């Protein structure tokens, strides 16, 4: 299935730190496990992507997953025309980033794991969880064998010692408690998607192991609250070194999370990571 879209760059999305199961296969090709499925995507040219799926799945699933109805060019242009040199460079460098509409529970667990870890380590932990607790699948088209991300019911029943063997460290009990909160209905991720960003952050922070940064990541990447603005060590570095801690988030009200992604992706490039 050939798709034409501006501001859609596979490498930039795969390396933007928002998704942990999208990996490079060859020069312009990426494999993605999401929503219990596996697809391969090829960057044919700047505005052309080829996805291994039929038109029905594209319209029903992947068009929404990659947020293809949203005009990221409008945000990029606004930054390119603005007075802020760092943002001009960041928007230019990451103009193909889109905020994916990922599964909320997968994001909840993934970003609990993410605390005090680097991205390769987060990916490895998530794969071990999927191999242990997910369903084994085989993709018809590519023949790829993969494992789905387990649901809250499965992880709520996981044993702490078993999780600890997956090298999750002290986060094991956070994962079990968060999964139980979802199963018991103490946390309603569907409702949080409709709630205000502030309300969803406050609710998520009531879970042990979720602080301000992780709550903002879950809101941005799992609930699609694009006004969320997660501040991790990289963002702290940007705000300190390029803005002397006087960055005004409010000038991007309603879409600060998109701006944040450009900043995050660009500063890591400046430091030679990702």
Partner DNA sequence: CGCCAGGATACCC
Partner DNA sequence: GGGTATCATGGC
Interface contacts to DNA, rule CB under 7 A: 16-18, 114-122, 164, 167-170, 205, 207-215, 217, 230-235, 260-261, 264, 273
The smaller minimum CB distance to DNA, of residues 15 and 40, is found at 15
Query: Phi/psi of residue 135, each to 5°?
Result: -95, 135
The smaller minimum CB distance to DNA, of residues 117 and 269, is found at 117
Supply the minimum distance, in Å, between the C-beta of residue 85 and DNA. Answer: 21
The smaller minimum CB distance to DNA, of residues 53 and 90, is found at 90
CA distance 93 to 81: 14
- Measured between its terminal Cα atoms, the distance across the chain in Å is 29
Supply the minimum distance, in Å, between the C-beta of residue 60 and DNA. Answer: 27
Supply the minimum distance, in Å, between the C-beta of residue 165 and DNA. Answer: 8
DSSP annotation string for 227-258: T-----HHHHHHHHHTTTT---GGGGTTTHHH
Supply the minimum distance, in Å, between the C-beta of residue 54 and DNA. Answer: 30
Supply the minimum distance, in Å, between the C-beta of residue 152 and DNA. Answer: 18
Q: What letter does residue 119 receive in the DSSP assignment?
A: H
The smaller minimum CB distance to DNA, of residues 135 and 251, is found at 251
- Reported in sequence order, the residue ranges of 100-160 that DSSP labels E, i.e. its strands, are 136-138, 145-147
**Size of the chain in residues:** 274
The smaller minimum CB distance to DNA, of residues 1 and 119, is found at 119
Q: Which of 41, 40, 46 is nearest to 9 (CA)?
A: 46
CA distance 56 to 160: 41
């Amino acid at each position: 299935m050939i798709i034409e879209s501006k501001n859609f760059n596979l490498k930039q999305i795969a390396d933007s730190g928002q998704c942990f199961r999208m990996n490079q296969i060859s020069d312009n090709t990426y494999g993605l496990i999401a929503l219990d499925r596996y697809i391969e995507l090829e960057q044919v040219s700047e505005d052309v992507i080829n996805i291994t799926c039929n038109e029905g799945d594209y319209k029903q699933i992947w068009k929404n997953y990659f947020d293809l109805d949203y005009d990221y060019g409008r945000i990029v242009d606004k930054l390119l025309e603005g007075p802020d040199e760092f943002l001009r460079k960041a928007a230019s460098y990451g103009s193909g980033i889109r905020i994916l509409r990922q599964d909320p529970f997968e994001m909840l667990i993934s970003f609990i794991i993410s605390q005090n870890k680097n991205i390769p380590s987060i990916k490895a932990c998530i794969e071990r969880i999927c191999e242990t607790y997910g369903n084994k699948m085989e993709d018809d088209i590519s023949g790829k064998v993969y494992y789905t991300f387990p649901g809250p019911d499965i992880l709520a029943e996981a044993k702490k010692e078993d999780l600890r063997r997956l090298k999750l460290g002290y986060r094991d009990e956070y994962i079990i408690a968060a999964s139980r909160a979802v199963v018991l209905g103490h946390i309603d991720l569907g409702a949080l998607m409709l709630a205000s960003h502030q309300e969803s952050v406050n609710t998520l922070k009531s879970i042990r192991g979720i602080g301000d940064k992780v709550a903002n990541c879950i809101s941005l990447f799992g609930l699609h609250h694009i006004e969320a603005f997660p501040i991790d060590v990289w963002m702290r570095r940007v705000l300190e070194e390029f803005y002397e801690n006087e960055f005004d988030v409010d000038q991007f009200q309603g879409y600060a999370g998109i701006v944040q992604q450009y900043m995050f992706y660009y500063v890591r490039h400046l430091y030679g990571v990702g």
